[in-house]
Structure formats: C-alpha cells, structure tokens
C-alpha cells in the first residue's frame, strides 16, 4: 500500500510571515493565507502548510508534527530543539542585518559588564538563552519571563533586559545601552531528523531550498550582455576579474563575440564605464527572477 | 518633607490600548503615546502613565510598581494577583460582549465534556486558569503553554485548547466546538492594596473611576428637553415611568413648564411619538459628554 | 390568530444608499448592510429592510412587496407607480440642490429648443418621462434606452440625450448644452396604499417619518441659550421676530431670565450680534440630534 | 482622394475596463481614460478608442459605429449581433474561470429543473438568452428585465433568476441554488463584418490580436537559460521532453553549448532540479513581456 | 445710486488655509475651495473670498484690493503694511504655541550672539525683519533672500539663517542652534484702513470677528448642568469660585434649583468630584459650538 | 597630501525631486532622503548629495558649492548662471512634454500680443526671463515678482502673468488665454566649470551621465529575440532597416541563426507582425534595466 506523499511545512506566523510568503512565491510556490480557514492554501499537492508562531516551530519540527519549517536560529536555540539545519536564508535586501539578542541597561546604569549583574533581576522573552549566558559567565541573577514591551521595564521594573534588535535604534530611543551580545540570529530552514533520512522528503526539502536560494540570489543580481571584438576579449577579461565565468558565443560578424554574465547589481555602475573603455558595445542590463549556479 | 504627589497608572499595551486611551480622553485625561519615547505623556502632573502588556499589569500593581491600572479580569486571575478591584468598565458600545475563555475541541472530536480530557494534552495561553479548572473537575491532563495561533493546534498538535473568544466566530471558522466556559472577563480598574489605603491616592483613583464611568455612561445616553402645559404634566409622567426624575422648571408663559431628562438613546424612537401624543411641544434631543448621577 | 407585526421597508441600493443608512441611524434605526447576506440587519424586530435599486422601489411598493420605501420622485414618475407619498426628504446638507433631468445637445448643435428635435434620435435612461415630454410638446422623435455613459453618445451616436444632473459640471466637461429641464426630483418616502390604510402600519410609517424629519431638521439647526434682564426682554423679542417661541425661564437672580430657542444654523451669524446689542449675556450655541415641533 | 486610415475600437466601460486597458498596454497601446473628456487618448494615430458599456459594444460594432471591440461573448449573444469573432482572450491570471450565466432558485425551492418553471416568473439582465433557453426547453414562463441586484429578488419577488457568476460564492451567500447553466462566456475581440473585409482594417485588427495574444501568453511564461557540456545535451533533452524546441548555441569554450527556452512559470520548480542533475550550470530565469510563436 | 454691499476677504493659501476654512465654518461661514475655479465659494452674498498666499495678504489689504483678511503678524511686519489689526486668533488647540522667527547657526558655530554676525551672510525668507533686527543691534551683515529649505543652507552656504519654528524640533534635527528670537507671530484678522472707516464694512468685519472668537472660545469649553438643594447652593458657590456666574433656575420640586454654567474642559475632572461632594445631583456635561460673553 | 575624493551633487527639492531620486536609483545610486536630517544618504562614498530648490541649484553650481546638479533649463537662464551643461534628461515617460513659460491674459482681455502690454503690470516667478523678453520686444512694462498662485492675479490684480505650464489645462480652468511662449525648458545635468576641468570630477560626472542615460534609454526600450533560417535573414534585415545592428549567433540546428536586438517599445507593435511575415519564429520580448551603446 502506497500512501500519498506529503511534506508538512511550518510557515512562521508573525513578523517573518509576510517575507516568507513573498520569497516562496518567487521560488515558485504560491501560498495564500485565508483569514478564515486555519490551513493556508498552496499550489502544490505534495505540500501542506501550517501557520505556527516562529517561537514554536522548532518544537513541532523536533516532535515530527512538521517535516520542516522556516524559523529564526534564536528560537531553535531557546527551545533546545534537536533538528537538522538545511540552510540559512537572508530574506530582506533592505535590512540584511541579522537580528541580535542583546543585554541592555539604562544609559546611566552602573552596570558595565555581565559581571555587574550579580544578584540583579533581568526580564526577557528568551529565558533559556539568558540563563545559559549567565551560567557561562558564572553570574547568579534572577531571570523573569516578559510578554513583550520589555524596553520599558529596564528603567524601573528590573535591572536589565535581554531584547532583540536589528539596528539598535529602538533601544537608543528608549535610552538604553547595550552591554553585550548573547546571540546573532538569521532565518533558517530546519528539518525533522527522520524526515531528513526519508529520501523522498529530503529530496523535496532540498528542491525547495535550491529554488529559495535561487530566488534570493536573483534579488541582488542582474544580467549583463554586450558585444566585443575577439581581439579585445582577453584584455577585457584580464582587466575585470570580477566578470567571472562569462558565457561567450560566436557572432555571425567575423571577429566579434557576445559576452554574457550575471553580476551583483551594485557593481554595475563601476563595471559599465570600464566595459565601454575596453571596447564593449551594445551593453544591456536585464532583470532576473532566479539564479542557480 | 513633602514629596510631590504622583499616581502611577498602568495602561494596557496591545488590544485594549486604543480603547483605553480614547476613554481616558473622554474622561478628561489626554494621553499621547509617542512611538519613540518609552513613557506616554499625560496632561496631569499628578499622574504617570506606564504602558505595559495587559498580561503583566496585575503583577506589577501587586508588587507596587504601579498604583493602579486597567487590565482584564482574566489576567488578574491567571496571575493570582492580590489587588483591590475598583470597578468594571465595559469599554465598547459595539461589542459589549465580555471576553470568554473556553475549552474547545475539533467539531468531530469525541470529547463531549471536561471528563473526557483525562490523559490528554491541552494548549493555552492561560496555563494557571486551565490547571485550576482541571483540578476543580478532578481531571488529570497535560497543559502546555502556547504563544498564540492556538486555534490551529487543536486539529493536529494537541487534543484540546483553552482560548479567548467574544462571538465565537473565529472558533467556528476554525471548525472548533466549545465544550465549556472557564471564565468570563471584562476590563477592570485595579489598585495596589497599599495605594488604596493612602487617602490621597485612593481619592485620585476614585476621581478617575468616577469620570471614566461618567464618560462611558454618556455614550449610550442623550438629553431630551420639551415644553408642556402643567395640566398635562401628571398624565405625561404617569404614562411614561421610564422618564425617571425629570428636571421641571417654570416657564414665563403661565401654565407651561419645561421638562428635561437624560434617557437611553435607543428608547428615543419610542419615547418621542408618545411625548408628542401626551402634549409635549418643541422636543429636542442633544448629545452628552458625561453623565454623573 | 395574530401574526407578528412587521413593516417591510425598501432601502435604495446605489447612490442614495449610504445617505439613507446614515439618516436612519440619526433617526434611531441602525441598519447594517452585510456584503454577504442579502437582507440588511436592523435593530427593530418590527422592521424588515430590503435593499433594492432606486429605479425599482416604487414598482415594488405599488405591488405590495414592500410596505414603504425611500426613492427618488423621478423614478415614481418614470414607473407611473400608484403609491401614497408620505413626505419629501432633503438628505444632503452640502448638495441640497435637487436632481434635474435635462435635455442636452452638443455645444455646437443646431438644436435650440425641443421643437428642433423633430425626426431626431434621443438616448436616455428615462424613456417614459422623455416620451411624455415630447407628447406634451407635440414633437415626434425616436427615444432609445441607454444603459448609462449617455453623455458620450450625444456627440456621435444620437442627436440628443436626456440625462440627470445636479450642478451641470459633468455636462459642461462633456461639452454639452442644456436645452430644457424635464423634471426636478428629490428623495421621497412612499407607501403602498393598502399599507397606508392599515392602522398599525400607518402608525409605524408615521413614526419613522416623524423621527427622520426630526433628525434631518436638526442637521441645520442649533440650540441658542442666553441670559437677559427682564426689562430688555420685550425689546429683544420685538426686534427679533425670527426668534420664534423661545422658552423663557426665571433665574434666581432677581430681574433676569434665561431665554432658550432653536434656530437655523445659518442665521446664527446675524442673530448673535443683534442679541448682544439687545443686552443678552452669556450666549451659547450647542449642537442638536433631533428637533420635533 | 485618400482619407486618413482609422480604426475605431470599442473599450468596455465597467468591470472589464481596467483589465482591458492593462492588457492593451502590455500589447503596446497605451490608452488613458480622462475623467473629464469623453474620448480616451491612445498613442496610435490610426486608432480611435470609444468607451462604451460592455452590454452595448456588439450592437455598435454590428452597426458600424465601431470597427471592432472587446466585449463578453454573453452580450454578443444577448444582443443577437451579427459580427465577426476574431479571438477569445482570457484576461485574468488569477480568476481564469469563465463567467457563467446560471438559472438559480432559493435553496429550498421546489424547482429542480427547467421543466418546473412552467408558468413561473424569472428576473434577469439577459432577457433574450433566457427566452431562447426556455424555448429550447419548451417551457413557457414569464421573463422580466432586472436592473441588477437580481439575487435579492429570487427569494421574494420572482420564482427564479438568471444571473452571472464566476465562483458561485455570491450565490451561496444569498442562499441560492444553481439549477442549470445557460451560457459560458469569455472576453472576445469582435469585428464589424465590413471592416473585416477591408484589407487595411483586417490587417490592423489582426495585428492587435497577435500582440494581445503575445502579451497574455507571456504572463504565465518565463525565459530559462543555462550552459551545458555538449556530451550531456542529448541526455538532457531526452530526459526532459517538456523542454521543447530549445535554442542551442555554441560557446567559445570548446565542448560547451548554451541552451535557452521559454517554459510555463509553474513548471520551473520541477525543471530546475532536473536540469541541475543533468549537468546544467549557471541556470537563470528571467521575465518576459511577450511571447509570439 | 446704491451699489450692492460686498466685503472682500483674504483667505491665506497654504499652511494656514485648512485651519482658517475650518474656523470660518464653525463661525458660520461655509467656504468651499474648488480645485478648478479661482474664486472660492462662500454662502454669504455680502462676502467675497480671495485665496491669496499668507505672505501677500497684508499687501493687498493695504492697497484696498481686499477689505480684510487673515494672515500672520510676521508678514504684516515683513511687508511693512499699514493696516488696522482687528484681533488675534489662536487657531490650533493642539499646537497653541505661536510661530517664532529665530536666528540660527550650526550647533558648533562660533557665533554666540547677534554681535558675532558682523560681516557675515544670512539667508532668510523675511529679509526686512532681519535687516531691521540687525539695524537695531547695530550689526552690519549681508542678508539674502531664500526661497525655502533654508535650514540646509546654514551649514554650508551662509553663516546664519533666520527661520520660522514652532517647537524647534526641525531645527534640532538639522543640528542648528537658536541664537536669538526676532519675532513671535500669531494669526491676525487685519483690515484696510478705509474699509475700517466705512460703517457697513466695519460692522461686517466686527461681526465676523465676534463669531470667530465665539467659535474658538467654544473649542476648549463645555456646558455643565446639575440639580442641587437650595440650602447647599451657597456653600457650593463659595467653595467653587471658578464656577463663575452660573445660571440658577427654580425647579418645580420645592427647595431644589438647577445650576448651569460654562467651564474650561480641562477643569471638569477637578470640578465634578467637588460638585458631587457639595451635594450636586444629575451632573451632565455637554458640548458647545459657540460661547459669546 | 591627498584628500578624499568627493563630488557634490545638487538634487532638486520639490517637483523634480521624486523623479530624480527614482532615476538615480535606476542608474545605480540609491539616495534616501530622511525627513529629519538635512543631508540625504547615498550608497557611494565618493558622492555627497545636497537637496536644494530647483530655482537655486544653478546659482550654487556656478559658485562652486556644488560640483554638479540636476535642474531645469529655465532656472539656469533666469539666474543667468555660467555653468557647463553636461546633458539633457527627459525624465518622465508619461508627460514627456517640456515645461513652457507662457505669457497669459484673461480670456476676454484686449491684449492680443506682447506689444499691447506697453505700460501694463505683469506678475511672474521669473522676473529676469520676463524682463529680457520685454526688452527683446522693445516693450516697456512693469514686472512684479509673484510668490505663486499667479493665475488668480491675472483677473484682478495685474494685467498679465508669465506662468509655467505643461498642458495648459490649469490655465484654461482659470479662464486664461496664452499670448506667447517665452521659454521651453527640460531638466539638465549641469556642472561647475572648474569641476569640469578636474579630470577625476569630470570622469565621475560623465559616469553618472552615462548610467543615467542608460537607465532612461532602457525605459522606452525592450529586448527582442527570435530564431530564423539563415536563408531568410538577408531579406529580413533588408525589409527592416529599423532593426539596426542586430546580434546574430549560430544555432546548433544547421541553417538557423538567433537574432537579438534592442528596439523602441513603441515600434514592437509594428515590428512583430513584420518579423513573423519574414519567417521569424519563437519571438520573445523581454524588459531591460539599462541600455548603453
């Protein structure tokens, strides 16, 4: 008896949700989250999406309720989940800065290092990460769970907090000072260890990872195409080592070749004048959907 | 030495926040929550506002960090906080239905009553309320903390959930069935017990309660004013017992009086034709800001 | 056997809908039109609302499917419906201009009067009104029904159009010239003739008309209140005949009375300086919800 | 004397308008509909756009006021217009479901088939289609024209309705049951028969049809490009029959070729892993504006 | 020969425009500014509105093109206009802070007082105010006219600027330091001197000023009404001197009076508990449109 | 001593700002204008952006405060600035109409030509351009500076105005008639003359101009690619001279070549049918980011 093959995929409900849905669409899977029903729709019969808080995804992947899922590295560590990490995905072009969990105190606090926290009280959403950090530093302090709005508490209710930040601007606005960084976190695709051993599931997960990578890669890349005389080609390639592995094809016009390559969008403004100087003609730049090396 | 008198007031961050700020404005206190600074501004030097998650307010009122605050009755119970309850405030005209914490299972689950939960797993945000409910019913079951999106879990990850609802529509959309109600909750103004014993603080808290009540009361009330001949007055009042305690004043025109009263907006449409029939003239309805009996 | 008493009320779907729902709310009936269900909800068990195109309401009131309804006078005429007209309601404060159905031709057309239309073609949404107008003017011309976007046709597809307008600005923008006005129309509350003979239904309809009138009346009225010395009162009343039927009550301060009245908002700006000149003090103006004489 | 060559094109005002304007832009004609003027602007001196209700376009194409236009197949049939149908255009990627005109009755009606309609009354916007359907089924019933909001009438005013639907969800929300489907309709490009005989006009219409098809085709397609060793090429093409008619060109690197093809976007996620497995390198996917085979 | 009496009123186009239109509406004049036509409509045949930049109004009032207008005091001074100032109007409840024209330099500039500006260059929109200020301080410096975006220039293009500010936050954001304040400005109603001498025009202007004042006054006031026993009245009035000049009227109920007064909204929260303590019953607060003493 | 190389670039604040920022982004420079700080951020350490009113940029480029900048040709002339003009940039695809400064009078004015202005008063934002125009026409008239809202003045305050317009629609709405055109203006990249002599700066400016041109060029261009039999190629190229300089590469399929070219988007609709007729197959059109010849 052969049962229908299905992979259960955990989509992080909350701040990562929108970005994850967008990236999956670019990779080729269209997910629509209905406001009414509880199971999101995806246009792939082999896939089932479950919308679960980022904080809990690693727990349910570990238990096998989910085969795989996208979540932050931080919550994998906080939950102490035993899962297989398939890959890291930097989702946002704009804020490519990873999230950091930092120990903070009010600007004018006397606390200068973790050692000064002895006997103090610390509020945080990541109780386990914080306790482990204190143990490592051999500091005894009380850690209490905070439901959020933690920044406010640092000034009056507790002595320090451990909070997540990307740019630090919210911390500065709250007049807090960063004492130390406990953990740096980025989004990850994680898999249940048994699912990873199953060849069909592993293959499916790897396909998703491959196309997600391809779509993310394409966001900062463009295609560049130009014509050049063969005699100038070597000089061109030598002068521009960053023009790696171009595709070179013969043109009908004797002595000329077409050169095509994929490069980072942000080097185009340096590359184009150099290409022109080296004899390239008819240079065009075009957008890309996916890049898979 | 006399220190400056200040009352610290906890404003619930999150779903109740907007409504609470609006009602305080109607009561006479204008609070502005800056997106940058951590302490909201209020136009009363005797008041300090702290923005704290509804889940934690009762904890900090009990500890004395706050003198008083607005929070749901549910979180007072969940936290087991020893505080003084000053009053109940039904904030919303539209959805005056109180929030209920209910035990839910999938529509087709075999669980019919709490007794059927023996040996099962329950996910909830209110672990203590749920455990206490099970103890009272002498049922042994595992209760696990859920960070949210709890409805989704009832179908696959656990056997039952305890979730909050107002109309039940979200539960129905998720194909869940309500088995029992654990707790009914409305917003409350709570006070620290020591603050309540301090006469200045208690007086300040009672003033805020009085004006909040006055503003809430006025939302469903209107003023009604009319002229009538004195000889018709008795008949009018007899025929309309709901026209309670009207203010009657002499007009210069001999034999005529002015009648003025405050009534529920939703009875106006029955009252006005009856008043006209009883001889009232020049009936006007006007809006109110506050009503204090 | 007594059946439950119910009045069926036709709400005009389309351009009048929003305004009608707002006015009913001011009168005391809250109607909510769900985007899904086909029957709007109203907070009165004796009322049933039906949402029907303004063009068709009079037809269904005549047939008795509806007891009463709000519609434009134009569609009552176009449909030739035999109904009882309960009252006229000018809904909009801003554009109190009634809708007019006008005969239009292109700016440079040779048509100067209805007589010039002999043998021509006219497009319109109101075929009957147009035909009746032509008969009255003893002009023979072809009238064809238009689904809308009628302005466009006047330049190329037909010789003239009969179209509705409030300010004429859309006509001017389309380079059309008004030749004649066929009909001026305002919203009406109409009733089925049998329903009007039933005492319970007539009473209910009259109550709704009374409160709608009261709410509409209040939109352009304000309350005015002032104190004045009794000796100046007669002079005041004489000088200001428009201050009709004020309520005058004795003040405790010997020789002073309070004068209170309801006046049109747009005469306040003339009244107030005159009142001051006549000796009035502490003049206040306050808003009204309803005014029923 | 040679007059300036011009094609008059009918753009459907209303629900199809926005989509039609977008597709024409993709095809290469930019139409701008001014809110003031009555003739839309198009950047082609040989074209004149007229904005006319979808219901009326086929009528004006038949009469020769328009040379061609976009409209629904349903209105061509309802109007019984004698026109040449140039092609069918499925406009929307999201809801590619065609519109259906269906016979509906209330959920609990006794009407089970068209035969049960004998002697009943039916309301619809498409009177001719409905009458023709009844004739074909040899059923005598009264058909009356409805201005819209037809769903509401089915419960009370008439016995059945004929209404348009895409997904049926609005009908279900109105508690209606579909009894039969009368007509399935998609957008069409239609032409006047004389215009179609004129070689210049026919050529112009066919060009528009060709480019509209090309733009619609491109919406679900992407370009795929990769490098591969010549020795692996045959295996690749054999393994992937769906990779039809690729363009293969020589690279300067001996033994390598570039393979380029156009495929459906939704097969990319299966194709890319297979291509990689077959030895393809540097796979890129890029967006397309038009595809013309 | 008697010509039609008309007053020409200048409405400030730009930042004051919206607020001025709102206040005029509250005062009783409804102005509508069409986006197309050049003359705003007002519902008073004796008034003609002209929409003119605040910077220029005083100029045109002086010349007699306008009889009166609303503008900032600053531009009256800058233009050196000889006009009659009718009154000052503080328009905004929220930001009742007057605008200030300040001399600014970069944070780290060596300029500490106006004396240090000798031989320097200053950019400003108010050249005359600035020159006059320098003369008064006996400092010789070059003043150049700036079209706006003046803050940017202070760092590089000139040595100092004279710029307008309400809270100083924009200056701080631009890292500028305030050296001195040249002028404080609030909105004014100004009149042409000849118009002011014409009795009809002066009367009309004074009426507008009276009602504008009345509407502005009402924004921060509310009506308060309550019943009290006559024997408690004296004590009440003594205890609450701020309850100035209440209107006291006899109630039919022997020994009771009604007390009514107008007070600042922001003292209600202190007043109500005190009133209750003094024996007041049935206290209501209601909104006001205008207050004219 | 070598200082860090930096180019100071003036970005026009106001109506051109948004478009300029967008075009720079397409060219490869991402500028973000913070609402707080006064210096926009750009992701190029060799560049410093200054946000300055378009009216003033040429003045500051001439003085050397800026090395280069984008501004309108009109303001270069009005200011009489001695700068090097690097190039003209037509920014907007939609409204490619250049701005025109025109002399206007009220519709019914007796002024028919510039000669009729003798002894009259003219209001304008461009005083110098206007004076120079009058001198050239040997007309003596008073020119006064206007802050804006100039259209309004033409009817009452002055005899004529000189105002900027693109389509003339705002002038018509204000019932003004155009008498003459003084100047036609488009955006320009201008450079300080000394900066242009510095080789590093000139090189940097030319690179920016090259990439801006490339990005603007790409907005109206697309890539076109097709396969064709070699024997048909010559006929194709002969028949289509506009298909200039195509890239022709050998396909593996003997006797076939791939043809690729860049063409104006608006000729695609003519080109594609012709290409098909000439034997081209698999024609695709794809979007471009940049085109550099």
Task: Name the pLDDT band for A1 (thresholds 50, 70, 90).
Answer: very low
CA distance C195 to C63: 11
C258 to chain B, minimum CA–CA distance in Å? Answer: 10
Task: Report H helices in chain C.
Answer: 17-27, 54-63, 73-79, 127-136, 150-153, 169-173, 193-197, 199-219, 230-239, 268-277
Task: Name the pLDDT band for F246 (thresholds 50, 70, 90).
Answer: confident
Minimal CA–CA distance to A264: which of A233, A231, A218? A218
Q: Nearest by CB to C249, from B250, B265, B282: name it.
A: B250
Which residues in A have their CB inside 8 Å of a CB on B? 13, 36-39, 50-53, 55-56, 60, 65, 146-149, 151-153, 155-157, 173-175
8 Å CB contact of F258 and D249: yes
User: pLDDT value at position F242?
Assistant: 62
Which pTM was predicted? 0.81
User: pLDDT value at position F169?
Assistant: 83
User: pLDDT value at position D2?
Assistant: 43
Q: Nearest by CB to A173, from B13, B36, B56: name it.
A: B36
CA distance E255 to D204: 95
User: pLDDT value at position B2?
Assistant: 43
User: pLDDT value at position E38?
Assistant: 62
pLDDT digits (tens, 9 = 90+) for C163-178: 999 888 888 888 899 9
CA distance F145 to F128: 10
User: pLDDT value at position E193?
Assistant: 98
Task: Name the pLDDT band for A152 (thresholds 50, 70, 90).
Answer: confident
The average confidence (pLDDT) of chain E is 89
8 Å CB contact of D291 and F284: yes
* Angle in degrees, CA D120, D122, D127, rounded to 5: 135
Q: What is the mean pLDDT of the segment spanning F205-216?
A: 95
Tokens of B281: 């003239």
Minimal CA–CA distance to E58: which of E243, E249, E158, E191? E191
CA distance F99 to F74: 9
For residue D179, the cross-strand partners are: none
The average confidence (pLDDT) of chain A is 90
| Phi, psi angle pair for A291, to nearest 5° | -135, 115
Task: Name the pLDDT band for E1 (thresholds 50, 70, 90).
Answer: very low
pLDDT digits (tens, 9 = 90+) for C115-164: 999 999 999 999 999 999 999 999 999 998 887 778 878 887 789 999 99
Minimal CA–CA distance to F101: which of F167, F171, F183, F159? F183
Q: Name the pairing type of β-strands C256-264 and C247-250.
A: antiparallel
8 Å CB contact of E149 and F51: yes
pLDDT digits (tens, 9 = 90+) for F26-64: 999 999 987 655 678 999 999 999 888 888 899 889 989
CA distance B226 to B224: 7
Do B214 and E272 touch, CB atoms closer than 8 A? yes
pLDDT digits (tens, 9 = 90+) for A77-113: 999 999 999 999 887 654 456 889 999 999 999 999 9
Nearest CA in chain A to F290: A285
Percent of chain B with pLDDT over 70: 94
**D140 burial class (0-12, 13-18, 19+ CB within 10 angstroms)?**
exposed
Per-residue pLDDT of chain B (293 residues; tens, 9 = 90+): 345 799 999 999 887 898 899 999 999 999 998 765 568 999 999 999 999 999 999 999 999 999 999 999 999 999 999 999 999 988 765 445 688 999 999 999 999 999 999 999 999 999 999 999 999 999 999 999 998 888 888 888 899 999 999 888 888 888 999 999 999 999 999 999 999 999 999 999 999 999 999 999 999 899 999 999 999 988 888 766 666 678 888 887 888 899 999 999 988 998 999 999 989 999 999 999 999 98
8 Å CB contact of C152 and D60: no
* H or E element that contains A8: strand A7-13
* Crossing angle for the helix pair F199-219 and A268-277, to the nearest 10 degrees: 100
**Among the ranges A256-265, B103-112, C7-16, which has the highest mean pLDDT value?**
B103-112
Which residues in E have their CB inside 8 Å of a CB on C? 27-29, 43-44, 206-207, 210-211, 214, 218, 223, 245, 247-250, 257, 262, 286-293
Query: How do the residues of chain F divide into helix, strand and coil, expressed in percent and rounded to 5?
Result: 35, 35, 35
Minimal CA–CA distance to B143: which of B152, B129, A79? B129
Q: What is the mean pLDDT of the segment spanning A257-261?
A: 90
Q: What is the mean pLDDT of the segment spanning D46-65?
A: 91
User: pLDDT value at position D128?
Assistant: 97
Those residues whose C-beta lies under 8 Å from the C-beta of residue E275, and which sit 6 or more positions away, are E224, E226, E236, E240, E283
Task: Report H helices in chain E.
Answer: 17-27, 54-63, 73-79, 127-136, 150-153, 169-173, 193-197, 199-219, 230-239, 268-277
User: pLDDT value at position D92?
Assistant: 61
Best of C54, C58, C152 to disrupt the D interface by mutation (most D CBs within 10 Å)?
A: C152
Task: Name the pLDDT band for E2 (thresholds 50, 70, 90).
Answer: very low
Q: What is the mean pLDDT of the segment spanning C243-271?
A: 85
Query: In which region does residue A185 sit, left (phi positive, over 0), alpha (psi from -120 to 50) or beta (all else)?
Result: beta
* H or E element that contains A200: helix A199-219
User: pLDDT value at position D95?
Assistant: 47
Query: How do the residues of chain D divide into helix, strand and coil, expressed in percent and rounded to 5?
Result: 35, 35, 35
A39-43, E124-128, E195-199: least confident range: A39-43
**Residue F149 pLDDT more than 80?**
no
B222 to chain A, minimum CA–CA distance in Å? Answer: 38
User: pLDDT value at position B94?
Assistant: 45
Sign of CA dihedral D189, D194, D199, D204: negative
User: pLDDT value at position E85?
Assistant: 97
**Residue E93 pLDDT more than 80?**
no
User: pLDDT value at position F286?
Assistant: 95
Q: Nearest by CB to D292, from F250, F251, F276: name it.
A: F276
User: pLDDT value at position A266?
Assistant: 87
Sign of CA dihedral D37, D38, D43, D48: negative
Task: Name the pLDDT band for A38 (thresholds 50, 70, 90).
Answer: low
User: pLDDT value at position D252?
Assistant: 79
User: pLDDT value at position F94?
Assistant: 46
Which residues in B have their CB inside 8 Å of a CB on A? 13, 36-39, 50-53, 55-56, 60, 65, 146-149, 151-153, 155-157, 173-175
How far, CA to CA in Å, does B246 sit from each of B217, B236, B243, D132, E227?
17, 11, 7, 70, 10
CA distance C102 to C182: 6
- Provide the 3-class DSSP secondary structure of residue D58: helix
**Residue E4 pLDDT more than 90?**
no
E197-211, E235-249, F5-19, F131-145: least confident range: E235-249
* Placement of tokens 């003023």 in the chain: B223
**Residue D281 pLDDT more than 50?**
yes
Within 8 A of C250 by CB-CB distance, chain E residues are: 249-250
**Residue A119 pLDDT more than 90?**
yes
- Provide the 3-class DSSP secondary structure of residue E189: strand
* Placement of tokens 């939609």 in the chain: F94
pLDDT digits (tens, 9 = 90+) for C21-56: 999 999 999 999 876 556 789 999 999 998 888 888
Within 8 A of D228 by CB-CB distance, chain A residues are: none
Percent of chain F with pLDDT over 90: 62
pLDDT digits (tens, 9 = 90+) for A187-238: 999 999 999 999 999 999 999 999 999 999 999 899 999 999 999 988 888 7
ipTM of the predicted structure?
0.84
Residue environment code for E201-210, b if the CB has 16+ CB neighbours within 10 A, otherwise e = bbebbbbbbb
Q: What is the mean pLDDT of the segment spanning A9-32?
A: 91
């Amino acid at each position: 008896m052969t049962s229908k093959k299905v992979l259960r995929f955990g989509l992080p409900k909350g701040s990562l949700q929108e970005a994850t849905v967008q990236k999956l669409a670019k990779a080729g899977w269209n997910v629509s989250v209905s406001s009414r029903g509880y199971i999101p729709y995806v246009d792939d019969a082999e896939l089932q999406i479950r919308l679960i808080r980022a904080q809990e995804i690693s727990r349910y992947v570990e238990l096998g309720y989910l085969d795989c899922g996208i979540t932050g590295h931080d919550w994998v560590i906080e939950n102490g989940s035993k899962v297989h990490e398939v890959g890291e995905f930097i989702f946002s072009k704009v804020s490519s800065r990873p999230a950091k969990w930092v120990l903070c105190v009010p600007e004018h606090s006397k606390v200068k290092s973790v050692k000064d926290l002895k006997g103090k009280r610390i509020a945080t959403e990541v109780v386990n990460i914080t306790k482990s950090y204190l143990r490592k530093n051999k500091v005894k302090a009380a850690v209490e769970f905070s439901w959020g709005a933690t920044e406010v508490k640092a000034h009056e209710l507790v002595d320090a907090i451990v909070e997540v930040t990307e740019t630090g601007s919210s911390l500065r606005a709250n007049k807090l000072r960063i004492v130390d960084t406990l953990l740096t976190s980025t989004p990850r695709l994680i898999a249940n260890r048994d699912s990873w051993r199953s060849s069909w599931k592993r293959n499916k997960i790897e396909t998703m990872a491959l196309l997600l990578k391809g779509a993310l890669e394409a966001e900062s890349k463009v295609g560049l195409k130009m014509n050049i005389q063969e005699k100038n080609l070597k000089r061109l390639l030598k002068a521009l080592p960053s023009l790696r592995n171009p595709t070179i094809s013969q043109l009908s016009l004797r002595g000329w070749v077409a050169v095509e390559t994929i490069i980072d969008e942000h080097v185009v403004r340096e590359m184009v004048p150099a290409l022109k100087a080296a004899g390239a003609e008819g240079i065009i730049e075009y957008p890309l959907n996916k890049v898979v090396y």
